[in-house]
Structure 1
Amino acid sequence: MTNPIQCLLVDDKPLALDILADYVAQVPALHLAGSSQNPVEALNWVEERRIELIFLDIQMPQLTGLQFLQALNRRAQVVLTTAYAEHALTGFEHDVIDYLLKPIPFERFYQAVEKAQRRLRPTPAETSRPYLFIKTEHRMQRVNLAEVLYLEGLQNYVLIHTATEKLLARQTISSLEASLPVAGFVRVHKSFIVALAHIHIVERSRIFIRVAAGEPRIIPVGDAYRSAFYGRL
Structure 2
Amino acid sequence: MIRCLAVDDEAYATKIIADYISKVPYLTLLGTTTSAIEALTRVQGGEIDLIFLDIQMPDLTGIQFLKLYGGKCKVILTTAYPEYALDGFEHDVVDYLLKPIAFDRFLKAAQKAFNLINLVKEQVAIPAPVVNTTIAVNNQTDYMFIKGESKNKFLKVDYNDILYIEGLKNYVSVFTSAQRIVTYQSLRDLETTLPKPPFYRVHKSYIISVDKIRMVDGNTVYIGDQSIPIGETYRDGFLGMIREAE
Q: 8 Å contact 2:8–2:57 — kept in the other structure?
A: yes
Per the alignment, do residues 152 and 11 of structure 1 end up closer, same or farther by CA in structure 2, a change over 3 Å counting?
same
Q: Is structure 2 residue 109 aligned with structure 1 residue 112? A: yes
Match of 1:98 among 71, 95, 100: 95
> What residue in structure 2 maps to residue 121 of structure 1?
118
Per the alignment, do residues 107 and 34 of structure 1 end up closer, same or farther by CA in structure 2, a change over 3 Å counting?
same
Q: Is structure 2 residue 69 aligned with structure 1 residue 72? A: yes
For residues 26 and 151 of structure 1, what CA distance do their matches in structure 2 show?
Answer: 41
For residues 154 and 63 of structure 1, what CA distance do their matches in structure 2 show?
Answer: 24
> What residue in structure 1 maps to residue 47 of structure 2?
50
Match of 1:26 among 13, 18, 23: 23
> What residue in structure 1 maps to residue 12 of structure 2?
15
| AA matched with 1:80 | L
2:75 alignment partner, SS class: strand
Runs of 5+ consecutive residues of structure 2 not aligned to the other structure: 128-134, 137-141, 150-156, 185-194, 196-246
For residues 114 and 120 of structure 1, what CA distance do their matches in structure 2 show?
Answer: 10
**Cα RMSD between the aligned structures?**
3.6
Per the alignment, do residues 26 and 151 of structure 1 end up closer, same or farther by CA in structure 2, a change over 3 Å counting?
farther
Q: 8 Å contact 1:152–1:173 — kept in the other structure?
A: no
Q: 8 Å contact 2:46–2:72 — kept in the other structure?
A: no
Percent of matched pairs sharing the same residue: 42
Deviation at 1:52, TM superposition (A): 1.0
1:56 alignment partner, SS class: strand
1:121 alignment partner, SS class: helix
Per the alignment, do residues 14 and 186 of structure 1 end up closer, same or farther by CA in structure 2, a change over 3 Å counting?
closer
1:103 alignment partner, SS class: coil
| AA matched with 1:62 | D
Q: 8 Å contact 1:153–1:173 — kept in the other structure?
A: no
Q: 8 Å contact 1:33–1:49 — kept in the other structure?
A: no
Runs of 5+ consecutive residues of structure 1 not aligned to the other structure: 129-145, 193-210, 212-233
Q: 8 Å contact 2:166–2:172 — kept in the other structure?
A: no
Per the alignment, do residues 34 and 151 of structure 1 end up closer, same or farther by CA in structure 2, a change over 3 Å counting?
farther
Deviation at 1:50, TM superposition (A): 1.2
Per the alignment, do residues 18 and 169 of structure 1 end up closer, same or farther by CA in structure 2, a change over 3 Å counting?
closer
Q: Which portions of structure 1, spanning 4 or more consecutive aligned residues, are displaced by more than 6 angstroms?
A: 160-163
Deviation at 1:191, TM superposition (A): 3.5
Q: Is structure 2 residue 37 aligned with structure 1 residue 40? A: yes
Deviation at 1:186, TM superposition (A): 4.5
Q: 8 Å contact 2:44–2:69 — kept in the other structure?
A: no
TM-score (norm 1): 0.58
> What residue in structure 1 maps to residue 200 of structure 2?
none
1:50 alignment partner, SS class: coil
**How many residues in Structure 1 have an aligned counterpart in Structure 2?**
159
Q: Is structure 2 residue 80 aligned with structure 1 residue 83? A: yes
Q: Deviations over 1:199-226 (max 9, x none)?
A: xxxxxxxxxxxx9xxxxxxxxxxxxxxx
Q: Deviations over 1:168-223 (max 9, x none)?
A: 9633434x52xx5x2xx645x6549xxxxxxxxxxxxxxxxxx9xxxxxxxxxxxx
1:173 alignment partner, SS class: strand
Per the alignment, do residues 39 and 169 of structure 1 end up closer, same or farther by CA in structure 2, a change over 3 Å counting?
closer
